[in-house]
């Protein structure tokens, strides 16, 4: 398994920079200590979602009797839809109209950090699908450990992006953040097509023979 692909896919889906405007929106009325607490809980929650998906995701879908190939096709389609949203400069896991003005009035602490910042804005179905698909491709314990380690990388990226939210917003501006989101969406679209192709070949072996011709 190419260990770089899962990391690229995760960073593209989570896209911490693209969520910075939402972080600013939800924490605009919080004091510095509350903002720091929100950053830390969001980063840790993102790690937990990724780690659980890598370690137990296969067992969960196995419980429901879903084949990995079917999950690859469905997950790939979900990733492709997420990438299309990103190409329109929308968050990969949500739509702008999911955020209401009343949400900004939520109490500071874990509630804002976990919902909606971590779930669904940072991590959601697309993230879980990606981790399950790549976990299925692992053959050694250290590959699984690498996937969990990527959760740490993503958590650090979230923490750094949120910590620098003020500077990022001033530096990139609305247009710059949109451009970054679209670039990540293009990368994610390519990865989604590859995942769907692998699943379709597994479900319909004739596609593989047709490709060889």
Query: What's the pLDDT score for residue 157?
Result: 96
Architecture per CATH, domain 4-203, reads as Up-down Bundle (1.20)
Domain ranges within the chain, ordered by starting residue: 4-203
Each of the 213 residues of the chain gets a pLDDT tens digit; together they read: 677 888 998 998 898 988 888 788 778 778 888 889 999 999 999 999 999 999 998 888 778 887 778 877 887 888 788 788 778 765 544 444 444 444 444 444 457 788 778 887 788 777 888 898 898 888 889 999 999 999 999 999 999 999 998 887 778 777 877 787 788 788 878 878 888 888 888 888 877 765 555
Query: What's the pLDDT score for residue 204?
Result: 86
**How far is the C-alpha of 138 from the C-alpha of 6, rounded, in Å?**
11
Query: What's the pLDDT score for residue 110?
Result: 53
User: Any alpha helices (H) in 27-124, and if so which ranges?
Assistant: 32-63, 68-87, 110-112
In contact, 129 and 79? CB cutoff 8 Å: yes
**How far is the C-alpha of 47 from the C-alpha of 118, rounded, in Å?**
10
Query: What's the pLDDT score for residue 99?
Result: 46
In contact, 196 and 80? CB cutoff 8 Å: yes
Query: What's the pLDDT score for residue 210?
Result: 59
Query: What's the pLDDT score for residue 90?
Result: 58
> Please, what is the Cα angle at 112 between 102 and 42, to 5 degrees?
150
**Measuring CA to CA, which residue among 56, 47, 123 is closest to residue 92?**
123
pTM of the model: 0.70
Query: What's the pLDDT score for residue 190?
Result: 86
Q: Which two tokens stand for residue 142?
A: 């250290």
**Measuring CA to CA, which residue among 91, 86, 79 is closest to residue 132?**
79
């Amino acid at each position: 398994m190419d260990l770089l692909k899962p990391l690229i896919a995760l960073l593209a889906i989570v896209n911490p920079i693209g969520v910075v405007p939402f972080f600013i929106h939800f924490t605009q009325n919080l004091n510095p200590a509350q903002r720091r607490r929100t950053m830390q809980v969001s980063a840790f929650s993102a790690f937990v979602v990724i780690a659980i998906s890598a370690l137990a995701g296969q067992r969960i879908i196995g419980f429901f009797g879903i084949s990995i190939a079917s999950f690859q096709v469905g997950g790939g389609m979900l990733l492709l839809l997420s990438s299309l949203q990103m190409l329109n400069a929308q968050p990969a896991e949500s739509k702008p109209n999911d955020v209401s003005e009343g949400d900004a009035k939520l109490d500071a602490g874990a509630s804002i950090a976990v919902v909606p910042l971590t779930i669904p804005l940072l991590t959601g179905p697309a993230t879980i699908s990606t981790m399950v698909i790549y976990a299925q491709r692992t053959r050694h314990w250290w590959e699984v450990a690498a996937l969990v380690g990527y959760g740490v990388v993503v958590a650090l990226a979230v923490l750094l992006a949120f910590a620098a939210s003020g500077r990022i917003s001033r530096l990139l501006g609305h247009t710059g953040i949109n451009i970054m989101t679209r670039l990540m969406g293009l990368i994610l679209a390519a990865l989604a097509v590859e995942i769907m192709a692998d699943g379709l070949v597994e479900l319909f072996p004739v596609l593989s023979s047709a490709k060889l011709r």
